[in-house]
Structure 1
């Protein structure tokens, strides 16, 4: 945590900003990698434009379903994605994409509505954010080098 309400993850991935942004913009690709290891997704609504809604269910490996509703607040192609998670726990996720050498430096900043919520989910959300980036990397590698 960088402050009482913010979780921050950053990593340089060996893909262009365009490739990474496309993995968010494509509902098929996003459904493959979104969430922690072992989770799958069912998207009910995916409106990838500023103000668009994203309604989906994350299916945990233990069979638990987690309903999610979010809004795409800001989309700057190949540079920035801002998502507001509209259901508990409420947070704003900002994904920054900056070309760096032959890859992209990805920043993943999750700001919760209050300190209590951030502390309550920190143990789970911190590793989950890293797992999201691991899964994104695998999906983009498979897209680049299909078997």
Structure 2
């Protein structure tokens, strides 16, 4: 099945990727099981309260991200594609508005390449978040790897 593509240009998207030493199936599970996802989603120090996680095309994901210092950030998304174990796509309903495509490519039995694409409607919206998001996505990948380590124990 083809990967979801949201029409875009380079100045309207932020792409983060990483190769990690875990199987494609385990990585997909960490992204799709709310009991694991809540442990690692977001930048370093953030925690999550999931209010709804209806993991199916058309299903909603509603949650609050709690910042380590102060602030709670309401998030709402709608899943638009789920292709086990290689792809998840969703649209954000809460601001800031952008679409997401996360792909998981098997490189070896214990190695997966993750590509995380954030697609914005305008270059201006993308430029506002780019200075923060690139580093925060790396922190998110770090937290994912920590959760995957725990999942293999």
Determine if the TM-score, normalized by the shorter chain, exceeds 0.5. Answer: yes
Unaligned runs of 5+ in 1: none
Partner of 1:79: 86
Unaligned runs of 5+ in 2: 1-8
RMSD of Structure 2 on Structure 1 (CA): 1.0
Task: State yes or no: 1:98 paired with 2:102.
Answer: no
Partner residue of 2:132 out of 124, 128, 131: 124
Calculate the TM-score normalised by the size of structure 1: 0.94
Partner of 2:151: 143
Task: State yes or no: 1:28 paired with 2:35.
Answer: yes
Calculate the TM-score normalised by the size of structure 2: 0.91
- Structure 1 segments, 4+ long, off by >6 Å, are none
Q: Does structure 2 retain, via aligned residues, the 8 Å contact 1:91–1:113?
A: yes
Between the aligned partners of 2:141 and 2:132, the Cα distance in structure 1 is 15
Between the aligned partners of 1:44 and 1:23, the Cα distance in structure 2 is 18
